[in-house]
């Protein structure tokens, strides 16, 4: 989900292969997209974000590319293809934009990295690899950038949040597997409010990697 400067809401609906737009009261405004691989079409639209001009960027998990639209759904541009070279993807998850309209994409399988582009799709840099050490990921999902350019990434299968500076250098990390208030089972998405508070969704009550089930009080 993403919200524009007029508080309109945009949703990427992967089951229907489209983008829907509503006003802040939930009144439907428009929708665009259908299943396919042409411009403006999707296989599995997943992440969605907006830049300072209310342009819409959508990541596609099946078609490893980013598509850019204006706020009415008119196609503008797209970039990316499957692979491990610069600017390529294997399995995209989330997407976000910073205050300078740089686009950040989590590539959560095999590549296990963050890729950064300018608003026209020109590759800038990437960082990360598969593993459990600092700066490594196992299926990274959600991503958000704060006002100072720090990047926060949900490292789902490592059950933690990692923070990087604007250059992609590791700063800190937190989180562990468990049922306590400061622990996670399957952390998935992340958001930040205007005061810098961070919100993380935990999408499971049972963990896929260990005998943890919070319904049983473990």
pLDDT tens for each residue of 82-120: 999 999 999 999 999 999 999 999 998 889 999 999 999
pLDDT surpassing 60 at residue 218:
no
Neighbouring C-beta atoms of residue 71, cutoff 10 Å:
18
Token representation of residue 52: 């300072």
Name the pLDDT band for 212 (thresholds 50, 70, 90): low
C-alpha closest to that of 74 among 19, 24, 118, 37: 19
> What is the C-alpha to C-alpha distance for residues 88 and 111, in angstroms, rounded to an integer?
9
Whole-number pLDDT of residue 182: 87
What mean pLDDT is reported for the chain? 93
* SS3 of residue 215 by DSSP: helix
Neighbouring C-beta atoms of residue 131, cutoff 10 Å:
12
> What is the C-alpha to C-alpha distance for residues 146 and 96, in angstroms, rounded to an integer?
11
Whole-number pLDDT of residue 27: 98
Name the pLDDT band for 216 (thresholds 50, 70, 90): low
**65-69 and 28-32 beta bridge pairing:** unpaired
The proportion of the chain whose per-residue pLDDT surpasses 90, expressed as a percent, equals 89
Whole-number pLDDT of residue 110: 87
Q: What is the mean pLDDT of residues 25-46?
A: 97
> pLDDT tens across 113-172, in order?
999 999 999 999 999 999 999 999 999 999 999 999 999 999 999 999 999 999 999 999
Q: What is the pTM of this model?
A: 0.94
Question: What secondary structure letter does DSSP report for 158?
Answer: G
C-alpha closest to that of 162 among 128, 202, 122: 128
Exposure string (b/e) for 35-60, b if CB count within 10 Å is 16 or more? eeeeebbbbebbbbbbbeebbbbbbb
Integer CA distances (angstroms), 204 to 98, 179, 201, 211, in order:
29, 11, 9, 13
């Amino acid at each position: 989900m993403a919200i524009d400067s007029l508080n309109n809401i945009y949703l990427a609906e992967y089951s229907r292969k489209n983008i829907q737009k509503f006003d802040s009261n939930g009144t439907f405004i428009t929708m665009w997209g259908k299943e396919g691989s042409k411009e403006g079409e999707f296989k599995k639209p997943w992440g969605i974000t907006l830049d300072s001009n209310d342009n819409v960027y959508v990541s596609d998990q099946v078609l490893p590319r980013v598509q850019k639209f204006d706020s009415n759904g008119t196609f503008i541009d797209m970039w990316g293809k499957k692979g491990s070279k610069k600017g390529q993807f294997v399995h995209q998850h989330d997407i976000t934009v910073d205050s300078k309209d740089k686009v950040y994409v989590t590539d959560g399988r095999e590549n296990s990295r963050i890729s950064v582009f300018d608003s026209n799709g020109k590759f800038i840099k990437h960082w990360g690899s598969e593993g459990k050490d600092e700066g490594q990921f196992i299926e990274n999902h959600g991503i958000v950038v704060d006002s100072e350019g720090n990047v926060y990434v949900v490292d789902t299968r490592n059950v933690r949040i990692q923070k990087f500076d604007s250059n992609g250098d590791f700063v800190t990390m937190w989180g562990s597997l468990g049922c306590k208030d400061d622990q996670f089972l399957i952390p998935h998405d992340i958001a930040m409010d205007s005061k810098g508070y961070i919100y993380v969704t935990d999408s499971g009550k049972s963990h896929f990697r260990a005998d943890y089930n919070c319904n049983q009080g473990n």
